[in-house]
Amino acid sequence: MIYTYPDYYKKFSCIADKCPDTCCGKWQIVIDDDSLEKYEDYNGEYRDELRRKVNWKEGVFRHGRSGKCAFLRDDMLCDMYIHMGKESLCTTCREYPRHTEEFENVREVSLSLSCPEVARILMNITDKVTFVTEEDDEDEVFDDFDYFLYSNLEDIREAILNVIQDRSVDIRSRIERVLQIGASAQRHYDEGDLVMWDECEEQDKPEIHGEHEEYMLLQKQAMFLIEDLELLYDDWEDVLIESQELLFSAGEGKFVENREKFETWWRDNSVRAVDGESHISMEVFIEQIIVYFISIYLLGAVYDGNIDGKVNACVGHAVELYMLLMARWLKNGDDLVMDDLIELVYRYSREIEHSDENLEQVEMLDWFG
């Protein structure tokens, strides 16, 4: 069995009550069967409290009047953990924000950007992200697993990561090349000749949009988030509507002017933490977001063959976050700081990655057509 994880994986440690937006909030936490059985058999002093706060019929933790997990105390610590210890936690509570993608004899382990602390860690990394590989003696066989396709997808992912992390090339050119690789790989896959995926042709190049066409495309992409995706949090819809108003209400000319000012500001200042120390450039920010999504989701095409859809979605997420940051800058001006960036990243991730419906939908959208 091969295990891979990003080089920053072991930097994570839950900050518990220091977290600005706890995962014990409004999420519906499903309890795994083993934990549910353990809770049913528990006869310690905490038994009555435990039984009252578990929804046994649905197999989930109840929420209090505040909408947060019934076990979350006012001091933002877990009451179950305090009374029953770490081993009492269900699989979700014990593992999050760790995330695992499973393939035959491969486990790809990552940290979810939906966690504020993970977002903080990644947004403070300015070096290129690398991946660590470990191996053990375990062996397994998946029924009908297409190892040939999987192997080609690994090569495609490696090529995309090399392209997007080539900082000698401007970020727009890198993105165009990534999209071209995705289109070429999909075409060759559809033609039954994926082994030739790197033979990109003119037809695989993304359409080069003029200023007006790009403005219309960005408007369309912004509407995806409101009209095409499941909204998990009401206050996120408020963010999207406000952002669209800030970005597009004054028309194309003002948008172009604002975008030039925003990019100039970011280039001259970077986005800094409140302490004035940590910072990240726009190009590195976009790179890290694309690396994150590509590294987690591209290999999933082994199960559905949707290579281009996954590539487009991974790039689309970076574009959407760029636009949300621009809107936040229009709102806050030069007071835009790292905390704004981190907040938008983890909240965006929650909306996309915590919904199976959204994960499927973003890979079907016409992001760049």
Residue 248, pLDDT above cutoff 80:
yes
For the cut 60, the answer to whether the pLDDT of residue 274 exceeds it is no
pLDDT on residue 208: 78
pLDDT at 269 over 80: no
For residue 8, CA distances in Å to 117, 125, 277, 279 come to: 12, 9, 19, 17
- Say whether pTM exceeds 0.85: yes
Q: Which helix or strand (DSSP H or E) is residue 101 part of? A: strand 98-103
Work out the average pLDDT over 328-339.
89
Nearest to 316 by CA among 344, 294, 295: 294
Token pair recorded at residue 169: 């090339």
Per-residue pLDDT of 279-294, as tens digits, reads 789 999 999 999 999 9
Buried-state track 216-239, b at ≥16 Cβ within 10 A, e below 16: ebbeebbebbeeebeebeeebeeb
Q: What is the rounded CA–CA span in Å between residue 322 and residue 283?
A: 10
Please compute Rg for the chain using Cα positions: 22
DSSP H or E segment with residue 234:
helix 234-248
Structure confidence by residue, pLDDT tens digits, 156-178:
999 999 999 999 999 999 999 99
Instruction: Name the 3-class secondary structure at 69.
Output: strand
Q: Any bridge partners for residue 226, and if so which?
A: none
Mean pLDDT of the chain: 93
pLDDT recorded at residue 26: 73
Residue 55 CA to residue 32 CA, distance in Å, equals 13
Across-strand partners of 101? 108
Band (pLDDT 50/70/90 cuts) for residue 147 is: very high
pLDDT tier for residue 277 given thresholds of 50, 70 and 90: low
For the segment 18-62, what is each residue's pLDDT rounded down to a tens digit? 998 888 877 788 999 999 999 999 999 999 999 999 999 999 999
What's 31's DSSP letter?
P
| pLDDT reported for residue 48 | 94
Residue 334 has pLDDT above 60, yes or no: yes
Kindly tell me if the per-residue pLDDT of 181 is higher than 70.
Answer: yes
Question: What are the two backbone dihedrals, phi and then psi, of residue 102, each rounded to the nearest 5 degrees?
Answer: -110, 130
pLDDT digits (tens, 9 = 90+) for 58-76: 999 998 877 789 999 989 8
Cβ(326)–Cβ(259) under 8 Å?
yes
Residues 1-19: tens digit of each pLDDT? 999 999 999 999 999 889 9
